[in-house]
């Protein structure tokens, strides 16, 4: 079992007293979806280790922050490849801070961006009724998989007519369902598409004290157009040698 990690604030003011829930709180009563992306990187910029998963970069402190972020959000959003590689299933109550969810379902919904609807069956059938899995796909998604997903209890949302899912349509679809506090957990391709579309309000970045070498991918990757987004550093925490930065769009 993970030990209870200790955090210290480095910026904006040094402090040994850290209230994670307060530091990572979403804007009060948002009137539109607030898209927060949570990513982890090695010290030399790698997004995952030799296994292709982020577990090699994680730590008890990183998992504690993730539990707070999931406790605060309405929906966990991920790309299909990340959902498969990282073994996504419906969020379990022990993976969130329950006291942060008063008046809401015990766990956030999981939303997956997928053209083929190739997701683990448990992500469809095991989701609770008050937090169903959402699959954002295109009009060309395989009809048999659409029917199977809906029969299993998931909600399939068409969010693109072409070969790819439209990030703006995903955000609109979440808003229509009252899911305003969005936690995007990647991967790099999905993050690139959302940043290129100007839809990322916040980036929470864990910098892990490891070197992975030149073969590792960056936290943004893929074919999205080159773009620039200026960020403002809101806070910087440290725990167990890892740094936890929270940026908002400038």
Residue 196 has pLDDT above 90, yes or no: yes
Indicate the pTM of the whole model: 0.93
Most confident of the following: 32-36, 56-60, 212-216: 32-36
Of 179, 213, 186, residue with least CA distance to 75: 179
Backbone torsion region of residue 152, taken as left when φ is above 0, otherwise alpha when ψ lies between -120 and 50, otherwise beta: alpha
pLDDT digits (tens, 9 = 90+) for 137-153: 999 999 999 999 999 99
Residue whose entry in the numeric block shows the structure tokens 């607030």: 34
């Amino acid at each position: 079992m993970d030990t209870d990690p200790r955090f210290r604030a480095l910026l904006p003011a040094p402090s040994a007293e850290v209230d994670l829930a307060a530091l990572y709180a979403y804007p009060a009563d948002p009137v539109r979806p607030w898209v927060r992306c949570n990513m982890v990187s090695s010290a030399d910029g790698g997004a995952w280790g030799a296994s292709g998963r982020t577990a090699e970069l994680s730590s008890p402190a990183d998992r504690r922050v993730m539990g707070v972020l999931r406790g605060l959000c309405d929906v966990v959003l991920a790309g299909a490849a990340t959902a498969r590689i990282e073994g996504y299933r419906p969020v379990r109550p022990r993976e969130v801070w329950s006291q942060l969810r008063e008046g809401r379902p015990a766990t956030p919904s999981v939303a997956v961006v997928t053209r083929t609807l190739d997701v683990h069956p448990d992500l469809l059938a095991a989701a609770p009724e008050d937090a169903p899995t959402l699959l954002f796909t295109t009009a060309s998604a395989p009809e048999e998989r659409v029917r199977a997903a809906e029969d299993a209890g998931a909600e399939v949302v068409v969010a693109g007519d072409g070969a790819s899912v439209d990030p703006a349509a995903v955000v609109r679809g979440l808003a229509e369902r009252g899911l305003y506090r969005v936690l995007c957990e990647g991967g790099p391709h999905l993050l690139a598409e959302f940043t290129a579309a100007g839809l990322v309000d916040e980036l929470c970045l864990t910098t892990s004290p490891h070197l992975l070498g030149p073969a590792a991918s960056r936290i943004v990757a893929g074919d999205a157009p080159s773009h620039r987004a200026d960020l403002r550093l809101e806070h910087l925490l440290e725990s167990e040698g890892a740094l936890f930065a929270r940026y908002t769009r400038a």
